[in-house]
Structure 1
Amino acid sequence: MEGMKKHFVLVHGGWCWYKLKPLLEAAGHKVTTFDLAASGIDLRKIEQLHTLHDYTLPLFKLMESLPQEEKVILVGHSFGGMNLGLVMEKYPEKIYVAVFLAAFMPDSNHISSYVLDEYYEQTPEEKWLDTQFLPYGSPEEQLTSMTFGPYLANKLYQLCSPEDVALGLSLVRSSSLFRKDLSKAKYLTDEGYGSVKRVYIMCSEDKGMPKEFGRWQIDNIGVTEEKEIKGADHMAMLSMPKELCDILFEIAHKYNNPSSTHLNNYLLLLSNRK
């Protein structure tokens, strides 16, 4: 059983994993949580971030610090799926499997803003409720910040406890979707990002990343496996941590052989394009 212990890296907000982290650790797994740039307790401000790469720097730093022989299970929540994409591209050999939890899942076929652009197409303006979108940086850069308001937060946390909602609202900071940056290039390739095994987890009551959009993303690029947490809202790690933990246990048990990762996923990509 000792060989089954894994290192989970949970991405997109260090605080929100506080229920899940001890459950994984109680089973002997190593768990790393942290804040991305200009998020949580990270001292940077959104004005200092111009690209998704800037936002992802703490995750790059973590991956670079891993011992040469160590591999991790990456778990990206919500926009954290975009951060996973960059790291999967750069360090495919360091990852057992990437888990997209109610997350954006980019592809390696289009420009890097493709899934975000599609989400905007499918999400009418009124569904953003009290979210604030404001310009920042120089006029030439055309950067846009995004700040969630309490109405949207309550929509995303609709099945969470009042305490968790209050905690989440107290930690809200301005961020960005970095669509301008991502629209300029195709950052992901089949050989890098596409070679890592992907598991997508949908949440049945998710009002932020609806099942229909999750299904569209899966059909768009394909996954090694898909799962669903019934009765979970967008914040499954808060509303149903035990159920999420059980799924991650299954994943840790199943995806413990990195030797066939690249070949299996390359074949999956080819079959999806026929």
Structure 2
Amino acid sequence: MSQRKGYVFIHGAWHNSETWRELKPYLEGAGHVFHAVDLPGAGSNAAQPKSLMRRPFDPEAFRTEPSPNADITQRMRTDAVIAAVRAMNSETGGKAILVGHSLGGLTVSQVAEEIPEEIGAAVYLTAMLLVNGMSARAMSKHVSMDEEMIPSVICASPRMVGALRLNTRSEDADYRALMQECFYGDVDVETFDRVTASLHCDEPAQVTGEPSTITRESFGRVPRHFIECLHDRAIPIDGQRHMIASVDAEMGSKTIVHSLATSHSPFVSSPDKLSEILIAISD
């Protein structure tokens, strides 16, 4: 068995630490240490607009109510994960493998830029891997993202409410089918209902507008891996590959790419195959 390694997992937008629970037995069974964070504004740290659970449901109130998560910043998220990395390194005596999904890639990059000597590898699971100065909001407008489905499930103006808002408690079958196709296209409805029951509805909008700040001298020193998901409808494969190529050109070094024939959420649909890749990265 290889030396014990520590993994710190960062969920994507609207998700939380429970996102990764199907992976945990695979990594711990291989002798590694597993920790998944709830970012500020997510999971146990998230607040919900009152209109989300009001019945009868008022679509207009939900469309206009200001988000209680609107003041969450990338700085807050970066600081939270730096603390988690340092706690993990203290426990294992090594360097944490940092894994981020989707929007969680923003935090992976910023942590790797700020404490490169404390990160064993930066792993992007169909995640935002952005060149210096680019924001997630700007990336979403790139031609390579034309097939992105996320705009079709947003329920309010981010500028008005301060968040990217999903109706995570929707009772509309057509809307829920869109959500499933976007994020969980290769699981059955029962699994989709189970894994989405804990999602928060408001992802702080200002995080998506903050530019990436990465440099060759810091971020560029950290080994980086990208796990591309070939059938992703939230971050299409063309967008994934555009980001990889752009960062590689800017950093003057190569991202190691791994492929899964899954939708946006392989931690649910293919945790066994995803864990094989993650364990191989640690070796």
Both proteins in one fold, TM over 0.5: yes
SS class of match (1:120): coil
Q: Which residues of structure 2 form unaligned runs of 5+?
A: 48-67, 168-175, 249-253
AA aligned to 2:163 is S
Is it true that 1:54 corresponds to 2:81 in the alignment?
no
Cα deviation code 1:36-82 (max 9, x no counterpart): 11111125641331x21123442122124342943111111000100
CA distance 1:191–1:147, change in 2 (3 Å): same
SS class of match (2:130): coil
Is it true that 1:18 corresponds to 2:21 in the alignment?
yes
Instruction: Compute the displacement of 1:168 (Å).
Output: 3.5
Is it true that 1:188 corresponds to 2:214 in the alignment?
yes
Counterpart of 1:176 in structure 2 is 204
Counterpart of 2:50 in structure 1 is none
1:67 to 68, 71, 90: 90
Distance 1:181 1:224 in 2: 24
Distance 2:22 2:277 in 1: 15
CA distance 1:119–1:23, change in 2 (3 Å): same
Aligned residues: 240
CA distance 1:94–1:193, change in 2 (3 Å): same
CA distance 1:101–1:158, change in 2 (3 Å): same
Instruction: Compute the displacement of 1:167 (Å).
Output: 2.8
Farther-moved stretch of structure 1 (18-27 vs 52-61) = 52-61
Is it true that 1:82 corresponds to 2:117 in the alignment?
no
SS class of match (1:28): coil
2:125 to 89, 93, 101: 101
Distance 1:169 1:11 in 2: 17
Cα deviation code 1:211-230 (max 9, x no counterpart): 11111111101233101012
Instruction: Compute the displacement of 1:19 (Å).
Output: 0.6
Distance 2:147 2:161 in 1: 19
Normalising to structure 2: TM-score of the pair?
Answer: 0.76
RMSD: 2.5
Distance 1:144 1:91 in 2: 30
Structure 2 matches for 1:195-234, cutoff 5 A? Answer: 195-222=221-248, 223-230=254-261, 232-234=262-264
Identity of aligned residues (%): 26
CA distance 1:204–1:2, change in 2 (3 Å): closer
Q: Which residues of structure 1 form unaligned runs of 5+?
A: 137-141, 254-274
CA distance 1:197–1:125, change in 2 (3 Å): closer
Distance 1:116 1:195 in 2: 26
Is it true that 1:144 corresponds to 2:150 in the alignment?
no
